[in-house]
Structure 1
Amino acid sequence: MTKWDDFEAFCHVAEQSGFTKAAKVAGVSKSSLSAAISRLEETLNVRLLERSTRAVRLTEAGRFLYSSIDPLFDRLRDARDETMSYSKLVSGTLRIAAPYEYSAHHLAGIACHIMHQHPQLNIQIDMRYAQIGLFDENYDLVFSMLDGDLPSSSIIARRVLSLDQALYASPDLIDAIGRPVQPGDLARMPVIASSKDAEWVFLGRDGGRETVTLPVPRLRSSNADVRLQAAMSGLGVTKITATYCEAAVKAGKLVQVLPSFTCAPLMVFALFPSRQLMPSKVRVFLDEVSHMYARP
């Protein structure tokens, strides 16, 4: 295997015209430099330096080698320095995938703020509904929303937010079919569910837990806005985050159903490949997410 360190040692000696100065520049001993040159000459089967007690000069072969490889080492150092700058400079394109509900109401403002702070950063946010493969589609960050804990995985997950959920329906629907008193009453009511909902779990004020198997939904959609619009039009009862339907409740277009029972919160997780050598664009975005939710 080629020992490229020996080639770099040769460039230091050639540039400094001696071992003493070259050793100081390279931060190694004179003896190690001398050994490197000897190994290189043996490997190439040619003398590269003429040594005397006063000076070191390049042979013809040494001049050829130095002129050929020294620019390459300069480019290599430049590439190293530029690559290392990626850990400090917030630049490039940050690719994010997240559900619509979280993207529209939370990520948009964060992304705009960060792009104002870092003009060299571009952000791509894909709104996705199905489970997203972090590595399969080369995302830097994936946000996932679950009613419970995240399944075990080799991917690093950070819980960033807990969103309260509740059941809502239009006042006209409640007037027409009556207000449910117990979760079991939902069996006689039309429901609007997300694509993955098969049952809804409730906690009563006494701490009791009740699970309701959903009747066939009038509408299924992973898009929270579709469910919101359907609920406001009177098509059924839906489970949705309180922040997402806050405006509709204030406008009197929706009312909360079964307020004495608590739905499991919707947990938002940030998924990313590794904590080690995290790109600055990912670190800055996650820090801003944390700071936003920490503000009063």
Structure 2
Amino acid sequence: MEWRDWELFCEVVEHGGFTAAARVLGHPKSSLSAAVQRLEANLGLRLIERTTRHLRLTDVGETIYRKVRPLFAALHDTHNEALAMSSAVAGTLRIKAPYEFGAHHAGPVACAVMSRYPELAIRIDVEHDIVNPVAENYDIVFAMLEAPLPSAGIVIRRVFTLERGLFAAPALLEKFGEPRTLEELKTLPLLTGPSDPPWAITAPGGAVEHLTVDRARLTSSNAHVRLQAALAGHGVLRVTASYTRAAVAAGQLRRLLPDHACEPLNVHALLPARQFVPAKVRCFLDAMEAHARGDPEAYIRP
């Protein structure tokens, strides 16, 4: 009996089709199709009805999937726990992160960690939506505190607190004038994320004001899209200072109200709740903490 065919059948169903499963698993679509065909031939049953638009399980396929999928999930959990007992940093580390954090923090750390551990492969999916790492089979999901966090079967670990600032292009400031107060800032167009609450801004004297963002000029969950709009002079961008460092140095953006403080961006790592944390996860989170302390060499030293 070829158990791998059973598992690939479950993967195809879980991801909604052969194409999506092939993309996630890194396998040719043809090999997944062949695995399901072999399984159907061995069982003498039709498990999947194939159409040009979508995949549909037969009644018997639905029954088999519901019974078999938990078995493979338990097997993977056991495998991961066994690996966690080892000190070897190897295998595949699956990470999900928002674009801004993934590109400017998780990405550089991943490159350094891979240089240190040649047996480790890393997959980073850069998306804004927060998911449960258990349900989506991630080792680490990086999430911002501004959005609700899932709670079932996970451990939440704080990793980063990132300084944020307000930035705008010289062209925008020539048109509207550079704001010297929060009242003047309110007259400028804003570039926001779809889940942004009112921006909390602390004045030099300690008073906190909340800038409403419901009439933004552009709204996007992708920080790079908002950065492009800011560079084009379409509005004021609130973002981590590290994300705009190059643009500020090149004179393409200017920091506004530098004596005011934006609420920092808190980043948490969501981990599956396990008795043992795999060595690859411990290694990556230690590297992230070293990166946050400004000690990038700490996580690449033997």
Q: Is the TM-score greater than 0.5?
A: yes
Aligned twin of 1:284: 283
1:124-175 Cα deviation digits (max 9, x unpaired): 1000111222222111101112359x76835312211111111111111111
Q: Is contact 1:147–1:264 with CA below 8 Å preserved after alignment?
A: no
Letter in 1 for 2:246: A
In the other structure, the counterpart of 2:120 is 121
SS across alignment from 1:95: strand
Q: 1:142 to 1:82 in 2, by over 3 A?
A: closer
What amino acid maps onto 1:117 in structure 2?
R
Q: Match of 2:131, SS? A: coil
1:130 counterpart SS class: coil
Gapped regions of structure 2 (runs ≥ 5): 1-77, 296-302
Match of 1:103 in 2: 102
Partner of residue 262, structure 1:
261
> What CA distance in whole angstroms lies between the structure 2 residues aligned with 1:205 and 1:265?
16
Q: Which residue identity lines up with residue 134 of structure 1 in the other structure?
A: P
CA distance in 1, matches of 2:211, 2:81: 54
Q: Give the whole-Å Cα distance in 2 for the aligned partners of 1:103 and 1:172.
A: 29
Q: Work out the CA distance in 2 between the residues paired with 1:81 and 1:153.
A: 23
State the Cα deviation string for residues 248-290 of structure 1 (Å, max 9, x = none). 1111111111223210000111111236311111111112222
- Greater CA radius of gyration, 1 or 2? 1
Q: Distance in 2 between matches of 1:186 and 1:232?
A: 18
Q: Give me the whole-angstrom Cα distance separating, in 2, the residues matched to 1:226 and 1:252.
A: 19
**TM-score normalised by the chain length of structure 2:** 0.66
Deviations 1:215-273 (A, max 9, x none): 51111111111111110110011101111001111111111112232100001111112
One-letter code aligned to 1:239 = R
Over 3 Å counting, the alpha-carbon distance change for 1:210 and 1:144 in structure 2 is same
Contact 2:93 2:281 in 1 (8 A): yes
1:240-259 map, 5 Å: 240-259=239-258
In structure 2, C-alpha distance between the alignment counterparts of 1:268 and 1:128, rounded to whole Å: 14
Q: For the structure 1 residues 278 and 225, does the alpha-carbon distance in structure 2 shift closer, same or farther, using more than 3 Å as the test?
A: same
Greater than 6 Å deviation, 4+ residue runs: 80-83
Q: Quick one: distance in 1 between partners of 2:260 and 2:201? A: 6
The answer for the alignment partner of 1:191 in structure 2 is 190
Tell me the amino acid that sits aligned with residue 214 of structure 1. Answer: V
CA distance in structure 1 between the partners assigned to 2:292 and 2:81 by the alignment: 32
1:85, distance to aligned residue in structure 2 (A): 5.3
Q: Following the alignment from structure 2 to structure 1, what is the Cα–Cα distance between the partners of residues 146 and 79?
A: 45
Contact 1:190 1:217 in 2 (8 A): yes
Could you say what the CA RMSD is over the residues aligned between the two structures, in angstroms? 2.4
Q: Any conservation in 2 of the 1:191–1:215 contact (CA below 8 Å)?
A: no
Return the alpha-carbon distance in structure 2 between the equivalents of residues 82 and 231 of structure 1. Answer: 44
Task: Look up the SS of the partner of 1:244 in the other structure.
Answer: helix
Cα pair 2:130 2:149 within 8 Å, conserved: no
Q: Is the 8 A contact 2:144 2:265 kept in 1?
A: yes
Verify the 8 A CA contact 1:169 1:257 in the aligned structure 2: yes
How many percent identity over aligned positions? 42
Matches within 5 A, 1:1-296: 84=82, 87-88=85-86, 89-146=88-145, 153=151, 155-274=154-273, 276-296=275-295
Q: Deviations over 1:164-223 (max 9, x none)?
A: 111111111111111223223333221111111242111111111111212511111111
